[in-house]
């Protein structure tokens, strides 16, 4: 039971997400539209803590003769992938070997886009898990839209390099799920950084974490304040969106007509950023009924929900998700830790996918994030057993291009299309095998992880001299 309680704690880490001004066109792709008035107020505040991530200069990389899953639905046999200037330069047969740079022999190996996890708490709930490092859930008010997950990120969390060894190149860090509005989520590149800004995905829109169901009503009902019921939850959302709409209008009037500058409210600013389409809603929501209610609220207040997270019952409303262009991020087989997670089917992702909604795997776990390829494989097989024709070339999108869509970064990463960021994993074999491992992981064309070269395996500050004063956490050659 202790293990169980720990799992529940994980699920209390509720989330939020948003689309950003720098990638307005991708916002359209994830179902919204550009509602931002030209020169209108800046609610998203992308510039307040700007990304300082700059990829190292890197020589070209040619991965030669591999099986390539492009993330766009194709499986290419015996093909090459060329990375140049941090971008995907070319995918095809018999590409010319660059004059300088790295040639990776791909015989027997598979290549995919880097894995993207839309739901993580790394850095906010770092390892080791001790009381003073639990920074992911501001459980002091049902609406904490003013808090930003990035302000809690401990960049030295040793779980970041473990996720990298699992092929994860991009991840969204969300606040927990205790609150109706948990705060802003941030999208990171999985690179070592001294500051969170060093890891921030350039231009990625912010997310707003919202939560349905049991968690908010339990946390606040327990304190004798609203919400203590699911209907209380909904009243809380509607009240906040009503206030946010008025706030947005006030600022837009000021921008248009001048006059006295309205008072700035950090909480309403985040919600207004959703209403003008700059910030993406990432909504922890298990039940079909609640997803349907949330989509009505979104229509009423004229915003777009990017993604329902956890979404154990997404399969029940998959047609509604497709119609409303809302993604669902799911587990392969977790269930039963609470009532709203009781109606699990292993075919969840496949059913959502076959209903033409945007489906993806997610982890919400420092362990699960290291095995998203295996989790995707299980979900794919569950779909095949349900009678759907689903192959790896299609299922790979559940861990790459679909989460990129959910995060509003699909124009720049998530597939192996020319011109996209060279976020690439070379697998030892078919990634949908338990025996395959990420051999090499490139982020923006830079070799960030190499299983065969300990000099290209990052370690956090925390890991130095910790079990052996003269060594690292694990002995040389130790398998993390």
Partner 1 sequence: MRISMNVKTKLKVSLFSLVCLMGSAHAETILIKDAKIVTLGEQGTLDSADLLVRDGQIAQIAEDLGDIPADLVIDGRGKVVTPGLIAPSSELGLTEIGAAASTNDGAIEEQSIGAGFDPVVAFNPRSTLIPFNRAGGLTRAVVLPYSSEKVFAGQGFAIKLTGDFDSVTKPNLVQRAYFGEYGAELAGGSRAMAYAQIANALAQAKEYSENRDQVRRGEWRELDYSVEDLESLQPLLRGEQPLMINADRASDILQLLALANKYQLKLVLVGAAEGWMVADQLAKARVPVVIDVLGNTPDAFEKLGARMDNAALLHDAGVTVAISGPGYAGSHNSYLSRQAAGNAVAYGLPFEEGVRAITANVAQTFGMDAGVLAPGNAAELVLWSGDPLEVTSFAELVMIDGKPQSLVNRSTRLRDRYLTPKAGTEHGYKK
Show contacts with partner 1 in window 183-202 (CB under 8 A): none
Window 328-357: residues binding partner 1 (CB under 8 A): 333-339, 342-347, 351, 354-355
310 is a site residue for partner 1 (CB under 8 A): no
Name the one residue in this structure whose structure tokens are 């609470």: 338
Closest distance to partner 1 from the beta carbon of 384 (Å): 5
299 is a site residue for partner 1 (CB under 8 A): no
End-to-end CA separation in angstroms for the chain: 27
Closest distance to partner 1 from the beta carbon of 355 (Å): 6
Window 51-70: residues binding partner 1 (CB under 8 A): none
Window 73-102: residues binding partner 1 (CB under 8 A): none
Task: Give the whole-angstrom CA distance, residue 436 versus residue 319.
Answer: 34
Task: Report the residue number, 125 or 201, with the smaller CB distance to partner 1.
Answer: 125
Give the interface segment with partner 1, choosing from 23-31, 44-52, 92-100, 434-442 (CB under 8 A): 434-442
Task: Give the whole-angstrom CA distance, residue 432 versus residue 301.
Answer: 41
Closest distance to partner 1 from the beta carbon of 213 (Å): 11
Tokens, residue 113: 């886009």
Task: Give the whole-angstrom CA distance, residue 19 versus residue 14.
Answer: 18
Task: Report the residue number, 255 or 473, with the smaller CB distance to partner 1.
Answer: 473
478 is a site residue for partner 1 (CB under 8 A): yes
Window 231-270: residues binding partner 1 (CB under 8 A): none
Closest distance to partner 1 from the beta carbon of 321 (Å): 9
Window 126-145: residues binding partner 1 (CB under 8 A): 127-130
Say whether 220 sits in a helix, a strand or coil.
Answer: helix
Of 37, 97, 231, 434, the one binding partner 1 by CB under 8 A: 434
Number of residues that bind partner 1 (CB under 8 A): 72
Burial of residue 260 (CB within 10 Å: 0-12, 13-18, 19+) is: exposed
Q: Are 429 and 435 in contact (CB under 8 A)?
A: yes
Of 28, 95, 381, 464, the one binding partner 1 by CB under 8 A: 381
Look at residues 312, 318, 436, 415 and name the one whose alpha carbon lies nearest to residue 372: 436
Q: How would you classify residue 161: left for phi > 0, otherwise alpha for psi between -120 and 50, otherwise beta?
A: alpha
Q: What sections of 156-276 are H helices per DSSP? A: 159-165, 214-221, 230-257, 266-275
Look at residues 177, 402, 247 and name the one whose alpha carbon lies nearest to residue 185: 177
Task: Report the residue number, 7 or 72, with the smaller CB distance to partner 1.
Answer: 7
Closest distance to partner 1 from the beta carbon of 41 (Å): 39
Q: Are strands 438-443 and 446-450 parallel, antiparallel or unpaired?
A: antiparallel
Tokens, residue 472: 């690292």
Closest distance to partner 1 from the beta carbon of 328 (Å): 12
Q: Are strands 327-330 and 359-361 parallel, antiparallel or unpaired?
A: parallel
Task: Report the residue number, 243 or 463, with the smaller CB distance to partner 1.
Answer: 463
Tokens, residue 301: 């207040």
Task: Report the residue number, 327 or 380, with the smaller CB distance to partner 1.
Answer: 380
Closest distance to partner 1 from the beta carbon of 64 (Å): 23
Closest distance to partner 1 from the beta carbon of 433 (Å): 6
465 is a site residue for partner 1 (CB under 8 A): no
Closest distance to partner 1 from the beta carbon of 316 (Å): 5
Task: Give the whole-angstrom CA distance, residue 137 versus residue 144.
Answer: 10
Give the interface segment with partner 1, choosing from 20-28, 183-191, 412-420, 466-474 (CB under 8 A): 466-474
Closest distance to partner 1 from the beta carbon of 111 (Å): 16
365: number of Cβ within 10 Å: 23
Window 403-432: residues binding partner 1 (CB under 8 A): 430, 432
Strands (E), 331-402: 359-361
Say whether 461 sits in a helix, a strand or coil.
Answer: helix
Tokens, residue 72: 């766009």
Task: Give the whole-angstrom CA distance, residue 146 versus residue 184.
Answer: 7
Closest distance to partner 1 from the beta carbon of 337 (Å): 4
Of 189, 282, 371, 420, the one binding partner 1 by CB under 8 A: 371
Give the interface segment with partner 1, choosing from 6-14, 94-102, 270-278, 298-306 (CB under 8 A): 6-14
Q: Are 337 and 8 in contact (CB under 8 A)?
A: yes
Window 385-404: residues binding partner 1 (CB under 8 A): 385-387, 389, 391-392
């Amino acid at each position: 039971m202790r293990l169980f309680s720990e799992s529940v704690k994980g699920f209390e880490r509720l989330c939020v997400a948003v689309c950003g001004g720098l990638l307005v066109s991708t916002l359209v792709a994830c179902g919204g539209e550009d509602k931002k008035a030209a020169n209108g107020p800046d609610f998203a505040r992308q510039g307040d803590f700007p990304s300082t991530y700059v990829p190292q200069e890197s020589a070209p990389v040619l991965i030669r003769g591999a099986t390539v899953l492009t993330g766009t639905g194709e499986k290419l046999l015996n093909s090459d992938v060329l990375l140049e200037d941090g971008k995907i330069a070319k995918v095809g047969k018999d590409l010319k070997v660059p004059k300088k740079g790295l040639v990776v022999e791909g015989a027997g190996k598979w290549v995919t886009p880097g894995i993207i996890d839309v739901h993580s708490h790394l850095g906010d709930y770092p390892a080791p898990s001790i009381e003073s490092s639990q920074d992911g859930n501001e459980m002091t008010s049902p609406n904490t839209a003013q808090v930003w997950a990035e302000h809690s990120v401990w960049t030295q969390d040793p779980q970041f390099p473990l996720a990298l060894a699992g092929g994860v190149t991009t991840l969204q860090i969300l606040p927990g799920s205790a609150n109706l509005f948990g705060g802003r989520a941030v999208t990171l590149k999985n690179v070592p950084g001294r500051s969170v800004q060093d890891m921030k995905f350039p231009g990625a829109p912010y997310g707003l974490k919202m939560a349905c169901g049991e968690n908010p009503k339990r946390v606040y009902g327990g304190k004798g304040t609203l919400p203590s019921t699911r209907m209380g939850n909904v009243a809380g959302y509607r009240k906040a969106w009503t206030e946010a709409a008025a706030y947005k209008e006030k600022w837009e009037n000021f921008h248009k007509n001048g006059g006295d500058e309205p008072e700035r409210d950090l909480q309403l600013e985040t919600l207004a950023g959703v209403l003008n389409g700059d910030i993406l809603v990432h909504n922890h929501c298990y039940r079909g009924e609640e997803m349907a209610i949330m989509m009505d609220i979104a229509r009423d207040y004229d915003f777009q929900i990017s993604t329902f997270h956890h979404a154990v019952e997404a399969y029940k409303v998959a047609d509604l998700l497709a119609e409303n262009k809302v993604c669902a991020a799911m587990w392969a087989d977790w269930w039963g830790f609470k009532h709203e997670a009781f109606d699990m089917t292993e075919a969840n992702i496949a059913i959502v996918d076959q209903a033409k909604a945007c489906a993806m795997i997610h982890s919400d776990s420092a362990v699960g994030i290291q095995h998203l390829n295996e989790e995707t494989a299980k979900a794919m097989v569950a779909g095949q057993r349900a009678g759907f024709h689903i192959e790896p070339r299609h299922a790979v999108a559940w861990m790459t291009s679909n989460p990129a869509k959910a995060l509003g970064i699909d124009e720049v990463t998530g597939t192996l299309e020319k011109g996209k960021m060279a976020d690439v994993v070379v697998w030892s074999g078919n990634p949908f095998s338990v025996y395959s491992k990420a051999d090499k992981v490139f982020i923006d064309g830079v070799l960030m992880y190499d299983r065969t070269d300990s000099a290209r395996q990052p370690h956090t500050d925390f890991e130095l001299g910790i079990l052996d004063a003269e060594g690292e956490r694990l002995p040389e050659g130790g398998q993390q």
